[in-house]
Structure 1
Amino acid sequence: MDLRRLRYFVAVAEERSVGKAAERLRMAQPPLSVQIRKLEAELGTPLFRRGTRGMDLTEAGLALMSRASEALALAAEGVEAARAVAAGRRGRLSVGYMFVLASAVLPQLVPELRRSLPGVDLDFVELSASTREPLLLDRAVAVALCMPAIHHPEIQLAQIGTQKLMLAVPARSPLARLTAVPVDKLQGRPLIALPRPEEEPTSSAVAALLRRHQVVMPIASRVETVHSALGLVLAGEGLSILPACAKLGAPPGIVFRPFLDAADTIEIAACWRRDSSSQLIRTFLKSAEKVVARI
Structure 2
Amino acid sequence: MPYELKSLRHFVAVAEAGSVGKAAQQLHMAQPPLSVHIRKLETQIGAALFHREPGGMRLTDAGSALYVRAREALALANEGFESARAIAGGHRGRLSIGYMFSLGYAWLPRLVPALRVALPNVELQFVEMSALTCEAQILSHRVTIGLCMPQPTRAELATAVVGSEPLRLAMPSNARLSRLKAVPVPQLQGLRLIGLPTFKEDADTSLVASLLRRHQVSMQVVERVETVHAAMALVLAGEGYAIVPACAAASAPTGVVLRPLQDVPESFDVAACWRLDLVSPLVDPFVAVARAVFGSRAKSWSPTFTETKKRST
TM range (shorter): over 0.9
State the 1:202 CA deviation. 3.5
TM-score, normalised relative to structure 2: 0.90
Q: Secondary structure at the match of 1:89?
A: coil
Aligned match of 1:17: 19
Q: Answer whether contact 1:147 1:269 (CA < 8 A) is retained.
A: yes
CA distance in 2, matches of 1:125, 1:99: 10
SS in structure 1 opposite 2:216? Answer: coil
- The equivalent residue for 2:181 is 179
The AA in structure 2 aligned to 1:177 is R
The unaligned stretches of length 5 or more in structure 2 are 297-313
**1:220 pairs with 2:222:** yes
Q: Give the structure 2 partner of residue 242 of structure 1.
A: 244
SS in 2 for 1:214: coil
Q: How does 1:53-132 map to 2 (within 5 A)?
A: 53-132=55-134
Once the two structures are aligned, what percentage of the paired residues are identical? Answer: 55
Q: Tell me how far 1:198 sits from its aligned partner.
A: 6.8
Regions of 4+ moved over 4 Å: 196-201
For 2:304, the equivalent position in structure 1 comes to none
- 2:233 pairs with one of 220, 231, 234: 231
Deviation at 1:53, TM superposition (A): 3.2
Picking from 130, 133, 136, the partner of 1:134 is 136
Q: How many residues of Structure 1 are paired with residues of Structure 2 in the alignment?
A: 294
Q: Would the aligned equivalents of 1:167 and 1:258 in 2 still touch at CA under 8 Å? A: yes
Q: How is 1:32-47 mapped onto 2 (pairs within 5 angstroms)?
A: 32-47=34-49
- 2:50 corresponds in structure 1 to 48
Match of 1:191 among 187, 190, 193: 193
- Kept in 1: contact 2:165–2:247 (CA 8 A): yes
Q: Report the aligned-residue RMSD.
A: 1.6
SS of 1:271's equivalent?
strand
Change (3 A) 1:200 1:104: farther
Code of the residue aligned with 2:81 in structure 1: it is V
Amino acid of the structure 2 residue aligned with 1:234? L
TM-score by length of 1: 0.95
Quote the Cα distance in structure 2 between the aligned partners of 1:201 and 1:37.
77
* DSSP-derived class of the 2:205 partner: coil
Deviations 1:50-82 (A, max 9, x none): 135310111110110111101100000000000
1:255 to 254, 257, 260: 257
Q: 1:284–1:198: structure 2 CA closer, same or farther, 3 Å change rule?
A: closer
Offset of residue 272 of structure 1: 1.1
The runs of 5 or more residues in structure 1 that have no matched partner are: none
